[in-house]
Amino acid sequence: MAEPLRFGFIGAGEIALQTARAVEASEHARLVAVSDANPELAKDLASRHGAAFEPTPDELIARADVDAVYIAVPHFLHLMLAQAAARGGKHVLLEKPAGATAEDAERVVRTARECGVTLSVPFIYRYAATWGRVRELVADGALGTLQGVRITYVHRKPDSYWEGGYSGRSRSDWRTRVLQAGGGVLIMNCIHEIDAVRWATGLEADSVFAEYGTFATQAEVEDRIGAVVQYRGGAVGVIEACSHAPGGAGPAGDGGQRIIGTTGQAVISGGKVWYYGEGDHRAAPAGRWAELPAPQERDARALLVDDYARALSVGEEPPIPDDAGLEAMKVVTAAYQSKRHRRAIRIEELFQRPVMAPRRTVG
């Protein structure tokens, strides 16, 4: 078996704790060093996993025993740290989003390719059994020609979230600030569904129109947004997201994620997949809603980290390609620009520069 991929962590907050546990569970990965702006957090995480503490990101990146850098820090720091890691010859596993803007995400991808290292964003919904089942239905032709999707995210985040995330492990108000977070519920939460829809359906966004506002939180970023996405080929998607809904998702859940085709429909709701088809299909009887069996859910983050580490340890491309984070951020950035410019924003408007350098072979 190939030698384990040796990780250095930049960021030791709550999501880093989860990723460190995933690294420990992987036979293809090992955590060797941790750095954080709060030294006590870094020392705590390092001690839990037998890793070294490094005072600065530069010192961590310079370590000869670090093969890949995992970055989990406030969004506005993603570009700088991902570029530094790539230029230091390290592979990069970068928490979502790939940058605070689509332009930042494009620069991250461009730098990784120019430096000949791999970049991946851990979009864990790709490892959810429910989304995998929907992807199979689409690939099978069970929905016919895709005509639309719906993304719904309705939750009530605790007020404390804005000062320390869900766990309060790392205290900071960066999530409340537009320049540091890039935005609110869309970039922080719905970006996962945006990627999952693209992965499961193959739909590519062409334009986005959005309206949003901040209604109930003491933050600069939006706590509610509604958007319409026009996909290439004609399909239409809608996004509804709210991070401060009294009662949260409510007794019926958040309404589910929905993929609608000309001959069938799939809904993800309550951790289950429901399918309706107008014609005969092996998934379910025609003309009747049916809950589809799905593999038992496993730890999506553990599966993702193990796949990423295994691929790199044997010189392969990671399962989630480098452009996934960029494509998701194109939708997010177009939505934010739409509000500012009071019109739909075409994805092609976001960039003035030529295409990125071609991806280099891992090695």
The answer as to whether 104 is a domain residue is: yes
- Smallest CA-to-CA distance from 157 within 198, 239, 202, 218 is with 218
Number of neighbours of residue 280 by Cβ within 10 angstroms: 10
**For residue 359, what pLDDT is reported?**
41
Give residue 136's domain range. 128-295
Q: Over the stretch 71-92, which tens digit does the pLDDT of each residue have?
A: 999 999 999 999 999 999 999 9
Which positions ≥6 away from 274 have C-beta within 8 Å? 256, 266, 267, 268, 289, 290, 291, 292
- Cα(99)–Cα(80) distance, integer angstroms: 9
- Cα(15)–Cα(78) distance, integer angstroms: 15
The answer as to whether 167 is a domain residue is: yes
Q: Do 150 and 273 sit in the same domain of this protein?
A: yes
Kindly report the CATH number assigned to the domain that includes residue 275. 3.30.360.10
Q: Do 179 and 237 sit in the same domain of this protein?
A: yes
**Reported confidence tier of residue 361, pLDDT bands at 50, 70, 90:** very low
The answer as to whether 273 is a domain residue is: yes
User: What is the average pLDDT score of the chain?
Assistant: 92
**Which position has the token pair 């003035």?**
352
- Cα(170)–Cα(36) distance, integer angstroms: 10
Predicted confidence (pLDDT) at residue 286 exceeds the cutoff of 70: yes
Q: Do 148 and 278 sit in the same domain of this protein?
A: yes
Predicted confidence (pLDDT) at residue 115 exceeds the cutoff of 90: yes
Q: Is the dihedral of CA 70, 102, 336, 232 positive or negative?
A: negative
Per-residue pLDDT, averaged over 255-275, amounts to 91
Kindly report the CATH number assigned to the domain that includes residue 71. 3.40.50.720
User: Which of 260, 295, 330 finishes a domain?
Assistant: 295
User: Which of 250, 280, 295 finishes a domain?
Assistant: 295
Q: Do 86 and 152 sit in the same domain of this protein?
A: no
Identify whether the C-beta of residue 305 lies closer than 8 Å to the C-beta of residue 22. yes
Which of 26-40, 278-292, 315-329 shows the lowest per-residue confidence on average (mean pLDDT)? 278-292
Q: Do 30 and 169 sit in the same domain of this protein?
A: no
The answer as to whether 33 is a domain residue is: yes
Q: Do 160 and 255 sit in the same domain of this protein?
A: yes
Q: Do 14 and 103 sit in the same domain of this protein?
A: yes
Q: Do 133 and 118 sit in the same domain of this protein?
A: no
Q: How many domains does the chain have?
A: 2
Q: Do 107 and 182 sit in the same domain of this protein?
A: no
Q: Do 278 and 180 sit in the same domain of this protein?
A: yes
Q: Over the stretch 29-65, which tens digit does the pLDDT of each residue have?
A: 999 999 999 999 999 999 999 999 999 999 999 999 9
